[in-house]
Amino acid sequence: MNYTGNEDHSISLAEAAELTANYRNAQPNDCIKAEFFGKNAILALLNQDNCMGMRIYYGQDNNGVKKLVLVGTDGNGNDLDTGLILDKGFPCPTYCSSLNSLNS
Domain definitions of the chain by residue range: 10-34+98-104, 38-88
* Residues 36, 88 contacting (CB under 8 angstroms): no
Q: So what's the pLDDT on residue 65? A: 87
Mean pLDDT for back-to-back runs of 10 residues, the chain (104 residues):
93 96 90 94 98 96 93 97 96 93 92
Q: So what's the pLDDT on residue 29? A: 84
**Could you give phi then psi for residue 2, rounded to 5 degrees?**
-95, 135
